[in-house]
């Protein structure tokens, strides 16, 4: 297996706080990896660092061997790494289908010089629309596709975020608590979709999740963070046996 | 160049801007509303003072108390009538800002109509101003004996309130984190009303002092608003001492800046407001937090660390 | 008899139409920047003034040069001579009009691009504060410099490009038609722009810039683009105004003008160009008819300047709309592209039977308050 995403001694400090303090690991292609740790252990900061929201103070991030450290979020997106947010960030005054349509890349009609001439982008728009609607259907969101984003339930919002991420044909998805605040049944279904798209499209996942009972049924590898450091990297079964993890996280 | 006149002007206007800006900082830090109708609190205070002194024969002291009450009530009314209902409906901060512009227009032009009907579009409180001393070429007048002590007393009283009284401490907690204050069982709406009352009141007093010091029009508050925002923004819109420093900096920068540029570069004195404007732009673009959270010891440590590297 | 009666009202009608059309261009431009783009450009009047000053300076300086006018730039004599020159040289007059439009749009766009710089760094309310004051600083400079638009006196003699037409009524109707044509073009343009992937992109950046960045959108570029487009349009409104009132005075560009235009957008409905037409119509009527000249025409005597009433009403409209109907008269709808047409067709109603069938609720189980916005389709 080849490493698709590599972190080398990545660190980020906020004032005196070591949010992420020298984290290194490799993500293998087609892996589903869980990232866990107590609140404030630096999990979300790590995702923000990989996705370009923050620039690391130290260390390197490599994607397929290419250095992507410090690139802007939109550049990271175009490389093929897409992230979701802890609290779903849908575009509120837009329909579900519009939310998905926005995510396509290289849209001709996004150029303000071409946009007013509708014939120049109509064909591409229709093609993208078909793909969007197909994916919306695959995620079981057809019934709400013409609803406003604000009319969805929390779980549906999470699903729209994942649907939307698929539009750029990404290689790596970074999901920040895809099942938070969602009923257990729907949570398992969300993870079912994750496994499905991994198998179908060969994606790689890094998933932050607090609900370990659900998470451990779907991931093959778990990373545990505490105080900005990586304290465990291995299979889910080993987590409960590792003394450092028990000490930092499970013993709380 | 004789600096005594710009120095006295800087101190006088700096004090007035400080008082006005403290009101804005208080209301912004607690409610997060950038209140453009703050301008009208100044104007109303000024008109109440000037009209009571000129028409009713009140003393300046009583008139300033009346100005305090009038502007305080107007501030509470703005919040109760417009801001609070809007916040309950989930309005964004920017909508509250726009609504405050609306309130400002209504109050300002009602004042204009009143002033037009009574021929008081320009007005100054007729007080018996006497020169009691000299500082270089600048005169020290009885007006200064009103302005400086009132400013200092207000700052001291506010400081005491925020640090030694229960509602004051609760207000500071609210400014830091409203949820926290709610959880600790503080009566949030009573506190909010109290805050608007005091913030409006001191702004009104500043307007009253301005009316005694100089000529006012119904647009005086709008004219002052640029300076008020400049002073408050220097304090990050949340810091008490930062705002005081901000008010004085604006006063000094404007008076010295324009005197200097007029003397040496022949710059038109009408460009005076550009100085406050430049302050706002520079602070917002370079350090949007202003002086807020500025810790001298931390700064020195940081400098040492950098020097050591 | 009746015709004469109508004819006497013609000037009022044409002036109303011209002002409406100019305000409409300005309001559509603010709606693009603020309604769609989420940039609270409350210094909007400044960008209008850029066009207005450009038209004035370019025309006056060029005519002074072509006609070798030696009288002072700001003198009344120069003004009379310019008017005479433009009336007798139709090609130059129209040429200067066109050149002013082009140059005004370019300069407006340039200043708009500069204005997008703070938009990248500041939260929206701080940005609004900065832009309000930026807008007024331009006026303070212009009202103190003789060389731009003659400080407080104002620059005059910028005659109408159609002043070769001798009959005053014909001329003003012809100019009104030109201005209306520009307003129609502006409306078609912004509407095409809004109902395209670019419109969708603008709304995405407006609703959540961080999420837009995470979806590959170059947010600073988008903000720059919409500020250029919006400000160029605003400047065109300014150019048309200068040639309409045949001069330009710095103090006409008070922050109040921004607030009047903002009221048009808020009242009509943000991010809805049709709503903006409605808002502009109502506010232009207010602006025109609550004026001392109109009151005296109706024979109403008021003890005070009635313009004050106008601003009180504007203030009240702002407050009431924001309190009770923040979405405006006609609320924002979705971006109408072919994708939406496709999505509305029932062929996509059928859910696919996958291994993982997700039970979506009714879609309305957790409905939040969303005003009168109805789901499309």
Q: Considering CB atoms only, which of A93, A125, A159 is closest to C358? A: A159
How many structural domains comprise chain B? Answer: 1
B34 close to C128: Cβ distance less than 8 angstroms:
yes
| B90/C369 Cβ within 8 A | yes
Q: For every one of its 252 residues, what pLDDT tens digit does chain A have, with 9 covering 90 and above?
A: 588 999 999 999 987 788 999 999 999 999 999 999 988 889 999 999 999 999 999 999 999 999 999 999 999 999 999 999 999 999 999 999 999 999 999 999 999 999 999 999 999 999 999 999 999 999 999 999 999 999 999 999 999 999 999 999 999 999 999 988 888 888 999 999 999 999 999 999 999 998 888 999 999 999 999 999 999 999 998 888 888 888 876 554
Residues 321-350 of C with CB under 8 A from A: 332, 334-335, 337-340, 342-344, 348-350
Quick one: pLDDT band at residue B304, thresholds 50, 70, 90? low
Q: For tokens 């007729």, what's the residue?
A: B126
pLDDT for the residue B181: 60
Which positions in chain A touch C350 (Cβ < 8 Å)?
Answer: 137, 142
**Min distance B89 CA to chain C CA atoms (Å):** 8
d(CA B76, CA B81): 8
A151 touches chain C (CB under 8 A): yes
Q: Is the pLDDT score of C258 beyond 70?
A: yes
Mutation to test the A interface, candidates C36, C37, C197, C376, most A Cβ within 10 Å = C197
C266 touches chain B (CB under 8 A): yes
Which positions in chain C touch B278 (Cβ < 8 Å)?
Answer: none
Across the range C134-147, mean pLDDT stands at: 89
Torsion, CA C100, CA C106, CA C109, CA C114, rounded to 10: -110
B88 touches chain C (CB under 8 A): no
Contact partners for chain B, using 3 or more CB pairs closer than 8 A, are: C
| B94/C124 Cβ within 8 A | yes
Q: Considering CB atoms only, which of C226, C359, C360 is closest to A144? A: C360
Task: Find the range with the poorest average confidence among A10-14, A196-200, B269-273, C60-64.
Answer: B269-273
Quick one: pLDDT band at residue C12, thresholds 50, 70, 90? confident
Which positions in chain C touch A112 (Cβ < 8 Å)?
Answer: 193, 198, 225-226, 229
B82 touches chain C (CB under 8 A): yes
**Residue in C with minimal Cα distance to B86:** C323
pLDDT for the residue B166: 85
Domain membership of residue B137 (yes or no) is: yes
Query: Where is C51: in which H helix or E strand?
Result: helix C44-66
pLDDT for the residue B178: 63
A21 beta partners: A11
Over its C-alpha atoms, chain C yields an Rg (Å, rounded) of: 23
Which positions in chain C touch A218 (Cβ < 8 Å)?
Answer: none
C26 touches chain B (CB under 8 A): no
Residue spans of alpha helices (H) in chain B: 4-31, 38-51, 60-78, 84-88, 93-117, 142-164, 166-176, 178-183, 188-213, 220-234, 240-265, 272-286, 296-308
A–C interface: beta-carbon pairs under 8 A: 211
| C316/B106 Cβ within 8 A | yes
Q: Considering CB atoms only, which of B94, B99, B226 is closest to C318? A: B99
Which positions in chain C touch A98 (Cβ < 8 Å)?
Answer: 200, 203, 334-335, 339-340
Can you list the pairs that C190-193 forms with residues at least 24 positions away whose Cβ atoms lie under 8 Å?
C190/C28, C190/C29, C190/C31, C190/C32, C190/C233, C190/C273, C191/C273, C192/A115, C192/A116, C192/A117, C192/A118, C193/A112, C193/A115, C193/A116, C193/C32, C193/C229
Give the pair of three-digit tokens for residue B292: 């807020």
What lies within 8 Å, CB to CB, of B298 at 6+ separation is none
Task: Tell me the pTM.
Answer: 0.91
Strands A204-208 and A32-36: parallel
| B113/C304 Cβ within 8 A | yes
N-term to C-term CA, chain B: 44
Which positions in chain A touch C211 (Cβ < 8 Å)?
Answer: 85, 89-91
Q: Considering CB atoms only, which of C134, C266, C322 is closest to B91? A: C322
Please state, for a pLDDT cut of 90, what percent of chain C lies above it. Answer: 72
C352 touches chain A (CB under 8 A): yes
In angstroms, how far is CA B175 from the centroid of its own chain? 18
- Each domain of chain C, given as residue ranges in start order, spans 9-253, 338-369
**Min distance C124 CA to chain B CA atoms (Å):** 7
Domain membership of residue B135 (yes or no) is: yes
pLDDT for the residue B72: 98
Helix (H, G, I), strand (E, B) or coil at B87: helix
Going from the C-alpha of C248 to that of each of B85, B288, C49, C52, C205, the distances in angstroms are 42, 36, 9, 7, 36
C134 touches chain B (CB under 8 A): yes
pLDDT for the residue C353: 58
User: For residue C267, which of C254, C278, C256, C251 has the smallest C-alpha distance?
Assistant: C278
Give the pair of three-digit tokens for residue B174: 């609210």
Domain membership of residue B242 (yes or no) is: no
Q: Considering CB atoms only, which of C226, C335, C349 is closest to A142? A: C349
**Residue in C with minimal Cα distance to B93:** C125
Residues 10-29 of A with CB under 8 A from C: none
pLDDT for the residue B188: 81
In angstroms, how far is CA C242 from the centroid of its own chain? 14
Q: Is the pLDDT score of C337 beyond 60?
A: yes
Contact partners for chain C, using 3 or more CB pairs closer than 8 A, are: A, B
Going from the C-alpha of B301 to that of each of A171, B297, B298, B308, C332, the distances in angstroms are 45, 6, 5, 10, 52
Mutation to test the A interface, candidates C33, C109, C189, C215, most A Cβ within 10 Å = C215
B52 close to B126: Cβ distance less than 8 angstroms:
no
User: For residue C322, which of B181, B240, B91, A9 has the smallest C-alpha distance?
Assistant: B91
pLDDT for the residue B295: 52
Across the range C194-205, mean pLDDT stands at: 97
| C204/A94 Cβ within 8 A | yes
Q: Considering CB atoms only, which of B89, B110, B229 is closest to C129? A: B229
pLDDT for the residue C5: 67
Residue B15 or C2, more confident: B15
**Residue in C with minimal Cα distance to A147:** C375
A193 touches chain C (CB under 8 A): yes
C70 touches chain A (CB under 8 A): no
Q: Is the pLDDT score of C361 beyond 70?
A: no
**Residue in C with minimal Cα distance to B100:** C319
Q: Considering CB atoms only, which of C121, C126, C308 is closest to B109? A: C308
Residue B304 or C325, more confident: C325
Give the largest CA-CA distance in chain A: 64
pLDDT for the residue A17: 84
Across the range B177-192, mean pLDDT stands at: 70
What lies within 8 Å, CB to CB, of A181 at 6+ separation is A154
B280 touches chain C (CB under 8 A): yes
| B98/C262 Cβ within 8 A | yes
Residue C118 or C53, more confident: C53
Q: What is the pLDDT of residues B235-265, one digit of tens each?
A: 888 888 899 999 999 999 999 998 888 888 8
d(CA C214, CA A77): 6
8-state DSSP, B54: I
Over its C-alpha atoms, chain A yields an Rg (Å, rounded) of: 19
pLDDT for the residue C374: 41
Q: Is the pLDDT score of C130 beyond 70?
A: yes
**Min distance B173 CA to chain C CA atoms (Å):** 23
Torsion, CA A87, CA A92, CA A94, CA A99, rounded to 10: -10
Domain membership of residue B307 (yes or no) is: no
| C356/A192 Cβ within 8 A | yes
Across the range C171-196, mean pLDDT stands at: 97
Residues 153-212 of C with CB under 8 A from A: 189, 192-193, 195-201, 203-204, 206-208, 210-212
Quick one: pLDDT band at residue B189, thresholds 50, 70, 90? confident
pLDDT for the residue B161: 92
A98 touches chain C (CB under 8 A): yes
| B34/C318 Cβ within 8 A | no
A109 touches chain C (CB under 8 A): yes
B–C interface: beta-carbon pairs under 8 A: 121
Residues 144-183 of B with CB under 8 A from C: none
Which positions in chain A touch C339 (Cβ < 8 Å)?
Answer: 97-98, 101, 125-126, 128-129, 132
């Amino acid at each position: 297996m080849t490493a698709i995403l590599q972190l080398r001694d990545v660190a980020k400090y906020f004032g005196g706080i070591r949010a992420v303090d020298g984290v290194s690991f490799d993500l293998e292609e087609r892996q589903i990896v869980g990232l866990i740790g107590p609140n404030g252990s630096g999990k979300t900061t790590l995702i923000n660092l990989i996705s370009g929201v923050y620039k690391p103070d130290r260390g390197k991030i490599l994607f397929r061997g290419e250095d992507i450290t410090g690139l802007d979020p939109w550049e990271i997106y175009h490389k093929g790494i897409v992230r979701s947010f802890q609290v779903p960030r849908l575009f509120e005054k837009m329909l579900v289908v519009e939310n998905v349509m926005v995510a396509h890349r290289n849209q001709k009609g996004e150029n303000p010089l071409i946009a007013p001439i509708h014939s120049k982008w109509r064909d591409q728009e229709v093609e993208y629309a078909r793909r969007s609607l197909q994916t919306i259907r695959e995620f079981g969101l057809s019934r709400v596709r013409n609803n406003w984003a604000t009319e969805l339930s929390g779980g549906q919002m999470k699903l729209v975020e994942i649907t939307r991420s698929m539009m750029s044909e990404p290689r790596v998805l970074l999901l920040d608590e895809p099942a938070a605040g969602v009923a257990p049944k729907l949570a398992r279904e969300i993870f079912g979709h994750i496994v499905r798209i991994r198998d179908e499209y060969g994606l790689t996942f890094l998933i932050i999740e607090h609900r370990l009972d659900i998470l451990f049924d779907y991931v093959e590898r778990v990373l545990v963070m505490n105080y900005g450091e990586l304290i465990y990297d291995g299979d889910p079964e080993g987590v409960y046996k590792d003394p450092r993890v028990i000490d930092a996280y499970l013993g709380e | 160049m004789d600096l005594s006149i710009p120095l006295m002007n800087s101190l006088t206007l700096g004090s007035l801007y400080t008082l006005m800006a403290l009101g804005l900082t208080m209301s912004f830090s607690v409610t997060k509303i950038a209140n453009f109708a703050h301008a009208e609190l100044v104007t109303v205070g000024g008109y109440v003072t000037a009209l009571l002194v000129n028409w009713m024969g009140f003393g300046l002291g009583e008139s300033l108390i009346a100005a305090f009450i009038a502007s305080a009530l107007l501030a509470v009314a703005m919040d109760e009538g417009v801001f609070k209902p809007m916040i309950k409906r989930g309005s964004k901060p920017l909508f509250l800002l726009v609504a405050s512009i609306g309130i400002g227009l209504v109050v300002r032009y009602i004042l204009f109509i009143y002033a037009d009907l009574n021929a008081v579009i320009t007005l100054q409180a007729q007080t018996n101003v006497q020169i009691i001393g000299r500082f270089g070429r600048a005169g020290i007048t009885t007006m200064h004996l009103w302005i400086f002590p009132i400013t200092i007393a207000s700052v001291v009283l506010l400081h005491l309130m925020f640090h030694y009284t229960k509602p004051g401490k609760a207000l500071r907690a609210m400014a830091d984190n409203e949820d926290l204050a709610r959880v600790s069982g503080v009566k949030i709406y009573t506190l909010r009303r109290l805050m608007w009352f005091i913030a409006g009141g001191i702004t009104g007093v500043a307007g009253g002092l301005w009316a005694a010091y100089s000529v006012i029009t119904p647009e005086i508050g709008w004219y002052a608003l640029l300076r008020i925002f400049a002073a408050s923004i220097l304090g990050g819109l949340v810091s008490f001492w930062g705002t005081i420093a901000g008010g004085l900096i604006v006063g000094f920068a404007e008076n010295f800046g324009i005197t200097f540029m007029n003397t040496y570069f022949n710059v038109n004195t009408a460009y005076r407001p550009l100085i406050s404007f430049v302050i706002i732009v520079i602070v917002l673009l370079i350090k949007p937090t202003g002086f807020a959270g500025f810790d001298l010891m931390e700064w020195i440590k940081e400098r040492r660390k950098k020097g050591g590297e | 008899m009746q015709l004469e009666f109508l004819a006497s009202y013609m000037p009022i009608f044409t002036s109303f139409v011209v002002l409406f059309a100019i305000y409409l261009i300005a309001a559509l431009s603010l709606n693009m920047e603020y309604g769609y783009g989420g940039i609270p450009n409350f210094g909007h009047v400044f960008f209008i003034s850029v066009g207005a000053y450009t038209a004035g300076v370019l025309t006056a300086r060029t005519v002074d040069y072509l006609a070798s006018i030696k009288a002072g730039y700001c003198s009344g004599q120069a003004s009379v001579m310019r008017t005479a020159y433009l009336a007798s040289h139709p090609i130059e007059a129209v040429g200067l009009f066109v050149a002013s439009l082009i140059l005004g749009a370019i300069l407006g766009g340039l200043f708009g691009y500069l204005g997008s710089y703070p938009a990248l760094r500041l939260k929206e309310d701080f940005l609004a504060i900065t832009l309000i004051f930026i807008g007024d600083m331009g006026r303070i400079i212009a009202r103190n410099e003789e060389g731009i638009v003659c400080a407080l006196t104002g620059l005059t003699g910028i005659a109408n490009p159609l002043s070769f037409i001798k009959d005053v009524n014909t001329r003003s109707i012809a100019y009104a038609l030109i201005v209306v044509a520009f307003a129609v073009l502006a409306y078609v343009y912004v509407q095409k722009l809004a109902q395209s992937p670019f419109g969708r992109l603008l709304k995405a950046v407006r609703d959540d810039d961080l999420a837009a960045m995470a979806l590959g959108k170059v947010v600073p570029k988008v903000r720059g683009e919409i500020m250029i487009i919006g400000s160029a349009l605003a400047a065109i409104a300014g150019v048309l105004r200068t040639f309409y009132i045949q001069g330009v005075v710095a103090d006409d560009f008070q922050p109040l003008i921004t607030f009047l235009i903002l009221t048009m957008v808020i009242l009509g409905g943000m991010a809805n160009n049709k709503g903006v037409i409605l808002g502009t119509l109502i506010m232009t009527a207010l602006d025109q008819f609550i004026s001392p000249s109109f009151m005296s025409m109706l024979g109403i005597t008021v003890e005070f300047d009635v313009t004050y009433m106008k601003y009180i009403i504007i203030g009240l409209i702002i407050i009431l709309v924001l309190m009770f109907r923040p979405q405006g008269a006609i609320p924002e709808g979705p971006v109408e592209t072919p994708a939406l047409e496709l999505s509305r067709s029932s062929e996509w109603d059928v859910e696919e039977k996958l291994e993982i069938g997700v039970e979506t609720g009714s879609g309305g189980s957790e409905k939040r308050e969303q005003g009168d916005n109805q789901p499309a389709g």
